[in-house]
Structure 1
């Protein structure tokens, strides 16, 4: 099995974790302000990784610190623009426009890294995007400020993926992940102090959500992303991450009994087809 195929398997597991925790986060932020939640979640993840990689942190260099800070800022902006956008647009449109990063990433990768996507990857992207359209029902295609903010969110997440692809092969990926998580915690802390009324949660359910998302969906997931992206392209990573709403829908069905429409199921099949096509091209090369 090639390193790229192994990395794709790990990235699919990461996407499954993110998708399965969506319903958990949704429930947690009903009682805790959004950035208050993000601050505690990312702070927990940062402290955990800082303890694990404390020896590496002593030797961090300026290049790693600068790259991780930029990537962490892009990751934070993705969350920030998405949250602000949701105030002015629907959840379905938000999901659709955020998923647009699967189209933006190959463009950004071609412009910034001079890497053109392969033909199977392009077909996979088209299938995945068609799947996103089908998954996102009742879309009103008029444009408002919320849609623009959400498009900035997609751009920010796309930039985070491309920048990791740029630096993961040359820098220490464990430090890269740890610092960018710390940056998100720092910026989330500033935002919650300025615009929210932060509080220490007392609910066991909320703390469970914080621990699950902090340990698995943040610490594990972003270390895995930063490490595995050294062996695959940004475009391929974005294509895999496009499966997040599919896994979210499956988790919502298993945990909360939410039923997917026939259209959404067909959309999920399109997205899986895009991934399989792309993976087959890797297997044939090896």
Structure 2
């Protein structure tokens, strides 16, 4: 008996999630050698140019309104990427992975604030667990939170806002075309912000390896994998599988990034992971990840 398509799709999404998780320590190593905005500018220039050339006929059929929507969403996503990547300079890759995952909990909160969406008790429980987890992960001594954790949380909030706007403004647009136009939007934002002082990419194998990996493997390849896999899985199942991203991020950071497993990481990470699962099951975080394959969570 052959393997079912849903089983293959499940393994495909897990592979996508693992690849995204692996990018945290890869990017952290790279931005220790290069300015994070310069890194993102080159990464997304490559990540946008390759699929744009491949799918050029599709892009030519888009209207100006569709281009404006996609570029706007991509610009917002670009600022999220910048906040998260700069944050990685100041916090551990494993911690960044878990904090980034709070976008699942932040999304319904923003819906509640902006659109008065009703929140269930389970959603409020998820918020409480996420706050506790963030406190454990980011508390430094008796002081407040660190810069890296704060920037990463800002990035997660921007990801959540992107999800809401994407869900409300992209229903009439081809998914692949929208993903590519958003990539172009990210490249434009990062390119403009990187202009002052010019771009400086050292000829280090670590930096160029990270650029190639995040642009092609964690960007284009995962986009195609997720697009194919989601034809055979429900959005809820996909979202649940994606909660393993911070777990993979921590595993890669410990195995290859030289980070240590601490009680703070285990307890805080477990609280945030539980909050993510509760938030998804509450049904408030579903409008979401279909066009995130091109780079959510550092990937």
Tell me the distance in 2 between the aligned counterparts of 1:14 and 1:140: 38
Distance in 1 between residues matched to 2:226 and 2:165, nearest whole Å: 12
Q: Is the 8 A contact 2:104 2:280 kept in 1?
A: no
CA displacement 1:259-280 (0-9 Å, x = unmatched): 2112312333334434555666
Residues 67 and 181 of structure 1, relative CA distance in 2, 3 Å threshold: same
1:197-231 CA distances to partner (integer Å, 9 max, x unpaired)? 41354223322211110013233446777996x96
Displacement after TM superposition at 1:63 (Å): 3.0
Give the deviation of 1:78 after TM superposition.
1.6
Query: 1:72: Cα distance to partner?
Result: 0.9
Q: Displacement, 1:105?
A: 1.2
The 5-angstrom pairing of residues 228-243 of structure 1 reads 232=235
Partner of 2:209, secondary structure, is: helix
Q: Is the 8 A contact 2:134 2:268 kept in 1?
A: yes
* TM-score for the superposition, normalised by structure 2: 0.71
The farther-off stretch of 112-121 and 244-253 is 112-121
**Runs of 5+ unmatched residues, structure 2:** 1-6, 284-299
Shift of 1:146: 8.4
Q: Alpha-carbon deviation of 1:50? A: 0.9
Correspondence 1:99-248 to 2 at 5 A: 101-112=103-114, 115-138=117-140, 142=144, 152-194=154-196, 196-221=197-222, 232=235, 244-248=245-249
Mapped pair 1:273 → 2:274: yes
Contact 1:72 1:184 in 2 (8 A): yes
Match of 2:91 in 1: 91
Equivalence for 1:25 = 27
1: CA distance between counterparts of 2:241 and 2:166? Answer: 15
Q: CA separation in 1, counterparts of 2:145 and 2:262? A: 25
Rounded Cα–Cα distance in structure 2 between residues aligned with 1:128 and 1:40: 33
What is the Cα deviation at residue 55 of structure 1? 1.9
The C-alpha deviation readout for 1:86-134, integer Å capped at 9, x for no partner, is: 89xx537x94876654443112234556654555455445434433433
Report how many residues are paired: 273
The equivalent position to 2:62 in structure 1, one of 44, 60, 63, is 60
Give RMSD over aligned pairs: 4.2
Larger helix fraction of residues = 1
Match of 1:259 in 2: 260
Structure-2 residue corresponding to 1:49: 51
CA distance in 1, matches of 2:171, 2:8: 16
Of residues 7-16 and 18-27 in structure 1, the stretch that sits farther from structure 2 once superposed is 7-16
**Structure 1: stretches of 5+ with no match in the other structure:** none
Residue by residue over 1:35-57, the C-alpha shift from the partner in whole angstroms, topping out at 9 and shown as x without a partner, is: 11111110111112113322211
Q: Is the 8 A contact 2:102 2:272 kept in 1?
A: no
Structure-2 separation of matches of 1:12 and 1:165: 23
